[in-house]
Amino acid sequence: MSVIDPLADDVIHHLHTSDPPPSESQLAEMLSVTRARLARIFDELTELGYEFEIIRNGAVHIARAPDRMIDTEIVNGLRTRTFGRALHCYRQVGSTNVVAIELAESGAPEGTVVVAEEQTRGRGRLGRNWHSAPGLGIWSSVVLRPKIAPDAVTGISIVAALAFAETVDNHLGLDVQLKWPNDGLIDNRKVCGILVELSAEVGRLHYAVCGTGINVAHKETDFPPEIRPQATSLTIAAGRPVDRLAFYRRFLFDFEVLYQRFVRDGLAPLLPIYRARSILLGHTVTVSQGERHTTGMAEEIDEFGRLIIRSQGQRVALNSGEATLRTDT
């Protein structure tokens, strides 16, 4: 929340955690600030969307916190051990992946998270843009430093997609299908995209940045016309507003749990739950990799996260690409 008085974070932190809640004069004393400065901080917080009320003995209580991706709110109730324990929140960035890569290059630890309300140059897979309008989604990236071979990195995006699906299931009771490698779909429309970028040398991964874009609060008309037919949001799918902060805290927790399991045991134990959500397996698909198109029966996801398809009698293992279901076969 660095855009306003630097002590605003501490005010919110004390109000969230002090028991019993402090009065204004106690708060001023705790933070060693004048009552006038504290009053200005409350004004700034009110502008951000907070609502306060005075309860018994003059104690200040947060009656309503804004649904904004700000650090004090994200950490309030966050149950992770490493994910989000170093947290960088922005109102606007080009791309959270780019910021996370810069942080990783300067030594940021595993689990460092970058979140933005808006991305002006959100990156999608295969060189595409990712539409990241302000306030509507969760645009975030996490720095990861697993001791795995660079070949195994596809597993990270599969794990992130799986975590997203589990969070939606547990939190909203909606069914998410996964389109290899890592698109999250509800009702056949894309609600979540994942982009993993890495720095490696032959045989050794330096770090990976896993960026996740989740459409949360969009109405149909919030999507640009060209992606409208294929896109959806959690709010559209649930038919009611979805709290971004609560969802995001839960996602970070689910992602950390699955990621730690993946680093410890590999992808194999997670594949049965991935397969159960896959829309491709058992169907004829075309996978495009630039100019190369491979069509065949999607048979398997292997322990490296590769899609195995049977094409012209051969088993072909694909590392990446854009898969489409064939409806004409």
| Edge-to-edge strand ranges of the sheet holding 322-325 | 314-318, 307-311, 292-301, 284-289, 322-325
> Does position 141 bind ligand BTN by CB under 6 A?
yes
Residue from 124, 135, 150, 266 binding ligand BTN (CB under 6 A): 124
Q: How far is CA 108 from CA 187, 200, 207, 235, 293, in A?
A: 38, 16, 10, 34, 39
* Site size toward ligand BTN, by CB under 6 A: 21
> Does position 193 bind ligand BTN by CB under 6 A?
yes
Shortest CB 216 distance to ligand BTN, Å: 12
> Does position 181 bind ligand BTN by CB under 6 A?
no
> Does position 171 bind ligand BTN by CB under 6 A?
no
Residues 197-256, interacting with ligand BTN (CB under 6 A)? 211-213
Task: Pick between residue 139 and residue 180 the one whose CB is nearest to ligand BTN.
Answer: 139
> Does position 21 bind ligand BTN by CB under 6 A?
no
> Does position 119 bind ligand BTN by CB under 6 A?
yes
Long-range CB contacts (< 8 A, 24+ apart) of 307-315? Answer: 307/180, 307/181, 307/280, 309/285
Residue from 35, 79, 128, 219 binding ligand BTN (CB under 6 A): 128
Q: Supply φ then ψ for residue 108, to 5 degrees.
A: -55, 140
Helix (H) or strand (E) holding 141: strand 137-144
Residues that bind ligand BTN (CB under 6 A): 95-97, 119, 122-125, 128, 130, 132, 139-141, 183, 193-195, 211-213
